[in-house]
Copies of this chain bind each other. A is one copy, B any other.
Amino acid sequence: MLRLLTVTVRGFKQHKTPRLKFSTSSVMAKSKFEYVRNFELDDTCLKNCYIVVRLDGRSFHKFSDQHKFIKPNDNRALGLMTRSALSVMEELDDITIAYGQSDEFSFVFKRSSNWFKRRASKLMTHVTSQFSSSYVFYWKEYFGEQPLLYPPSFDGRVVLYPSNQNLRDYLSWRQADCHINNLYNTTFWTLVQKGGLTTTQAESRLNGTQAADKNEILFSEFSINYNDESPMHKKGTYLIWEMVNESSTKKINRPNEAETEVTVTRTRKKVTAHHCDIIGDQFWEEHPDILERD
């Protein structure tokens, strides 16, 4: 057994036996234990379904307080979320669209994807890991000298959608959720920050109000037209792959010629961020490549 090794060995002759025994037994030991591999169960995702991995910040209410996030929306925090999502997409190019708002982000793998043989655990942990390490890695780019106090964490899940309509409805659900929350938060923090209400007063003022009522409060009491608010806050952020032209200038020196400056334009696939509506048909008509045939 491996424990033989703890015997203190001084000379060559004496230790030969334990060393040999050890070696043999530890190899045997490993093969004796290897049966435990077979307890791992298969969690392959059903084929021809969109695979959505959604991440949510854990205890981000507390995290945002401790890191003094600006209310109702902190552009540094949103930017960092988007930067981390970009890092995920660049690692896993079977993701065709990602959508984020607040402390959540959803990543959509194409329905024909065969990444990690469609194993749910691999897909969700890889996305979560890349996102989490990126969040810490890029923190400084967004928060500058304000320190990150502790490593934050996100949880993830996998959901499958069998049809294009189901996937569109999923993304619409998240964007509608973004709108509803943002309208609430905008009105709430306006009442507090500009209206002088306590948070308790603001909460009770908004209790039972409809979207129209909140629009009205913002407009008539604070001259804020909600429509003019930032699209990023109202619509969230989606990331897609697009062909982008990149220009660079190059100096060319040929013998017996004056130096020439040439502009070279190359087209390459790149992840780009947008804040438009993805509920209506227009977005999907303009980006026919995201969905695959049912």
**Chain A interface (Cβ < 8 Å from any Cβ of B):** 1-3, 5-6, 8-9, 12, 15, 19-20, 22-24, 26-27, 29-30, 32-44, 46-49, 55, 58, 87, 91, 111, 116, 120-122, 124-126, 128-138, 148, 150-166, 169-170, 172-173, 175-177, 179-180, 210-212, 214-216, 219, 225-227, 234, 277, 279-280, 282, 294
Contacts and interface: CB of A to CB of B under 8 A. Distances in A.
A47 B39 contact: yes
B39 A46 contact: yes
- Where chain A touches its partner, the secondary structure class is helix
Given A2-B175, A33-B173, 20 more contacts: A1-B280, A2-B277, A2-B280, A3-B277, A20-B212, A24-B211, A27-B210, A33-B176, A36-B161, A37-B173, A38-B47, A39-B161, A46-B46, A122-B155, A133-B133, A133-B153, A136-B151, A138-B151, A164-B294, A165-B294
5 contacts: A30-B176, A30-B180, A121-B155, A121-B157, A124-B125
A121 B158 contact: yes
B279 A35 contact: no
B126 A125 contact: no
A26 B175 CA distance: 10
* Interface-central residue, A12, A42, A152, A159, by most chain B CB under 10 Å: A159
Contacts of A162: 46-49, 111, 162-163
Given A33-B169, A36-B169, A227-B5, A294 B151 contact: no
B46 A44 contact: no
B219 A12 contact: yes
Nearest to A137: B151
A39 B166 contact: yes
For the complex formed by this chain, how many copies does it contain in all?
A: 4
A121 B124 contact: yes
Contacts of A154: 125, 129
Given A125-B125, A133-B133, A164-B294, A41 B38 contact: no
A158 B42 CA distance: 10
A87 B136 CA distance: 15
Contacts of A136: 133, 136-137, 151
A2 B38 contact: no
A123 B20 CA distance: 42
Nearest to A37: B173
A215 to B, nearest CB: 5
Contacts of A166: 36, 39, 48
Interface centre among A22, A133, A177, A225 (most CB of B within 10 A): A133
